[in-house]
Structure 1
Amino acid sequence: MKISFRPLTMSDLDNVVRWSLDREVAFWWHESDTPEEDIRSNWESRARGGDEKTRIFIISLDSTDIGVIQTYRVVDYPDHMAELQTDDSAGVDVFIGLPEWRNRGVGSALIRQFLSEIVFADPSIQRCVIDPEPDNRRAIRAYENAGFQHVRSYRSEVNDVDVYLMVRERSAG
C-alpha cells in the first residue's frame, strides 16, 4: 500500500465536494446542513489559495485519491491557540472521503506518514495536536495508533463543540 500526499488543486474540487457531502464526513465536519454550493465555494476558495495559513493535501492510496489532510501552525489561529494552550505546535485535520477505505487501518498509517513527511519536516514544530470530538471513537483509535495521546477534554468556544484534545510529540516518532 503506497500512501502519498499532494497539494489540493482545482482539479480535485469534484472529489472533495463529493466526499464532503458523504453523510459521515458531513456529520463530523459539521456540514450536514450546509448547501452543496456553499461547500463547493469554500473548497474552491481553498484550492485557489484563499487560506494561506493552512496547507491542504489530497491523500492518495495506490494512485487512488481517498481523502483530505491539512496542517497549520496553531500560532496562526490565536483563538484556537488560546483554547489549545500551545503555541509551538502544528494542528492536523483529516478525513477519508471514500467509505470503502474506512475501518481498514489506513487512517493511522497515513497520519504517521504525514507527520513524518510534512509536519515534522519543519524543525521548529515540536508537537502536533488533533482535536476530534469525544464521540468520534474511530478517529480517536486511529490517532492513538498514530502515536497521539489524550491530554484533556473541553468545550470549544471557537467551534462550539466538545473536543477530545490529543497531542503527539516529535520525539514520539
Structure 2
Amino acid sequence: MADATMLVSWLSRAHVRRWWGPPKAISAKDLADPRVARWIVSHEGAPFAYMQDYTVHGWEDHHFAALPQGSRGIDQYIGEPDMIGIGHGPAFMAQRTKSLLETGAPALATDPHPDNTRAIAAYRKLGFAPTGPARQTKWGLILPMVLRSHAHP
C-alpha cells in the first residue's frame, strides 16, 4: 500500500492510461490477491515502472486458460515518461520472464492492445509470438501472445 499513491499517479498519465484505462483506487485487498505477483521496477534506486505476473488459471474463462498448468500471464508499464524508449522495458521484462521460465513456468502469456506497437515489439524481442488474431475479451481488445519454455514446447 505504500506505493499506491505512486501507482495511481502513473496510471493517471496519458501514456499509461491509453492502454490501461482510467485509474482506479488500489485497495489492500487487491494487492493481497494471491493470484497476482506485483513488482515495482527501479533503476539506480528510483522507481519507474510496474510489473505483474499472474496465474492464467485464476479466473474462469480466462483467454489463456488453455495453456498448461503453471503458465503465467505478464503485464507492465513504465510510469515515468523519461524512461520510455531507452531499453529499460525490454531489460526488466527479460529479467522477469527469465526468472519465471527458470522456476518452471511452461509458458508465459501477454495480451497487449493490438495498436500498442511498442509493447508488441518489446514482447517479440523476448520471443513472444502472436497465437491468433486480435480479439475482444472482458479485459478489452487484445493480441494474444505466448512464449513457451524450451522445456515445455
TM-score, shorter chain, exceeding 0.5: yes
Q: Residue in 2 aligned with 1:150?
A: 130
Q: Residue in 1 aligned with 2:114?
A: 134
With normalisation by structure 1, the TM-score equals: 0.78
Cα drift, residue 44 of structure 1: 4.5
* Aligned counterpart in structure 2 of residue 64 of structure 1, from 24, 34, 46: 46
SS of the residue corresponding to residue 86 of structure 1 reads: coil
> Which AA in structure 2 matches 1:21?
S
| In 2, Cα distance between equivalents of 1:154 and 1:138 | 16
Assess if the C-alpha contact under 8 Å between 1:130 and 1:165 holds in 2: yes
Note closer, same or farther for the CA distance 1:103–1:110 as it changes in structure 2 (3 Å cut): same
> Which AA in structure 2 matches 1:142?
A
Q: Residue in 1 aligned with 2:76?
A: 94
> Which AA in structure 2 matches 1:162?
L
| In 2, Cα distance between equivalents of 1:66 and 1:136 | 19
Assess if the C-alpha contact under 8 Å between 2:48 and 2:80 holds in 1: yes
The structure with more helix, counted as a fraction of residues: 1
After superposition, give the CA deviation of every residue in 1:13-53 in whole Å (9 maximum; x if it has no partner). Answer: 2211110101111110021xx5xxxx2x3254434x1x221
Assess if the C-alpha contact under 8 Å between 1:16 and 1:43 holds in 2: no
> Which AA in structure 2 matches 1:25?
V
TM-align CA RMSD: 1.8
Q: Which runs of 5+ in 2 are unaligned?
A: none
Note closer, same or farther for the CA distance 1:121–1:43 as it changes in structure 2 (3 Å cut): farther
Assess if the C-alpha contact under 8 Å between 1:70 and 1:92 holds in 2: yes
| In 1, Cα distance between equivalents of 2:27 and 2:120 | 25
Larger mean Cα displacement after TM superposition, 143-152 or 126-135: 143-152
Assess if the C-alpha contact under 8 Å between 1:156 and 1:162 holds in 2: yes
Count of residues in correspondence between the two structures? 149
Assess if the C-alpha contact under 8 Å between 1:20 and 1:26 holds in 2: yes
| In 2, Cα distance between equivalents of 1:43 and 1:142 | 30
1:171 aligns with 2:150: yes
After superposition, give the CA deviation of every residue in 1:125-167 in whole Å (9 maximum; x if it has no partner). Answer: 11100000110001111111122112212323322x3211111
* Aligned counterpart in structure 2 of residue 78 of structure 1, from 60, 63, 69: 60
Cα drift, residue 121 of structure 1: 4.1
Q: Residue in 2 aligned with 1:108?
A: 90
| In 1, Cα distance between equivalents of 2:82 and 2:146 | 28
